[in-house]
Copies of this chain bind each other. A is one copy, B any other.
Amino acid sequence: VLIGEVARRSGVSARMLRHYDALGLLGQVGRTGSGYREYSGEDIERILHIESLRALGLSLREVGRALDDPGFRPSELIAELIGQTRERIAAETRLLTQLRRVGAAEPAGWEDVLQVVALLHALGSENAGRRQRAALSSALSSAEEFAVPVDALVEAALEETDPNVAGALRWALARSGGGLQQLARGLGSPVAEVRERAAQAIAEIPGEAATELLRAALTNADIVVRRCAALALGPRGSAEAIPTLIDMVATEGRDVDAADALGVLAGDPVLADRIATGLVNRLTGGAVDPAARRQLTQALAGIPGDRTSQALTELSRDADRAVAVTAAYLLKLREPPDR
């Protein structure tokens, strides 16, 4: 069979058939008296084999090695090819999300494209300084002509380990005002750090939508998220955060911040009563550790109202000297200034 016939039937161009021959992939191909290549049935079969292996992604060189080595184990090669293909898909997918972000920024001209690309690239950089600069510039560039790619900011904020850069990213997000939906998804991440970062980022975003999200986060499965949400909800005047905040006052660590948040909420007299009652219930409930009782007592400092005054009077006779002294001191502070 001559080369043209083989080319037509196998779908491989005559050029490539000659190339295979030149590379020695076919062993020796027969020739007619006048020098034309004469392919045998075996040759054709071998050509089909070559095409099969090439379809799996092997290079011609690899095909040659594979077909020549009769004792080759295919399974590991297949596994390796799978790995390589996955890697390529991952790279292409990263490229695709970059492209989508650039497109979403609706650049008006090349200048904008270049700026967005540089920004995205810097946000994904290994270098913390570059990331920092990128975060700051996206925080400040909201007045530019192109839209800052919010989802890239969210992704960066959720993955950022450097605290300074993370802060800058949260600031940028807060200024952009968007990304709440993706941050909300971050609250459900399997990774604890991501959940916490999402909660912090939402906490720094102003507006009713973020507040609503924080209220929902009060029922999050992750206690860290719940506490972060509660701290942020205090200044926003959300009474739903009170139980979590009282829990936090009784816990080591964020008790001062929680007490402050309760103090802000207690600006409303109705809430002040509820908060005071909650704190007192905690103090008189059984099995509370002494350190927690002291923190709860101190938290009463920020809560106005008669309910607190009564509680402090009783606490000034508390069995725990530290509690009694603190309560007495706070009581004196609350005496009316007109002697």
Contacts from A to B (Cβ < 8 Å): 48-49, 52-53, 55-57, 66-67, 70, 72, 74-75, 78-79, 81-82, 85-86, 88-89, 92-93, 95-96, 98-100, 102-103, 106-107, 109-110, 112-114, 117-118, 121
Contacts and interface: CB of A to CB of B under 8 A. Distances in A.
Contacts of A92: 85, 88-89, 92
Nearest to A106: B75
A85 B109 contact: no
B52 A107 contact: no
Contacts of A74: 107, 109-110, 112-113
A76 to B, nearest CB: 10
Given A74-B107, A109-B74, A113-B78, A98 B55 contact: yes
Contact of A85 (B85, B96, B106): B96
A114 B78 contact: no
Chain multiplicity (copies): 2
Nearest to A79: B103
Can you list the 8 inter-chain pairs with the closest CB atoms, starting with the nearest? A52-B117, A78-B103, A85-B96, A74-B113, A89-B92, A82-B99, A49-B114, A52-B114
A114 B57 contact: no
A118 B48 contact: yes
A121 B11 CA distance: 13
Contacts of A103: 75, 78-79, 82
B100 A96 contact: no
A71 to B, nearest CB: 8
A142 B276 CA distance: 77
A165 to B, nearest CB: 21
Given A56-B99, A85-B95, A99-B85, A75 B107 contact: yes
Given A53-B113, A89-B93, 13 more contacts: A48-B118, A49-B110, A52-B114, A53-B114, A56-B95, A56-B117, A57-B95, A57-B99, A78-B107, A82-B96, A82-B100, A85-B95, A85-B99
Contacts of A49: 110, 114
Nearest to A80: B99
A67 B111 CA distance: 10
Contacts of A98: 55-56
Q: Of residues A57, A85, A107, which shows the largest number of chain B Cβ atoms within 10 Å of its Cβ?
A: A85
Contacts of A114: 49, 52-53
Contacts of A107: 74-75, 78
A65 to B, nearest CB: 11
27 contacts: A52-B114, A52-B118, A53-B113, A53-B114, A55-B121, A56-B95, A56-B98, A56-B99, A56-B102, A56-B117, A57-B95, A67-B110, A72-B109, A74-B110, A75-B107, A78-B102, A78-B103, A79-B103, A81-B99, A82-B99, A82-B100, A85-B99, A88-B92, A89-B92, A89-B93, A89-B96, A92-B92
Contacts of A72: 109-110
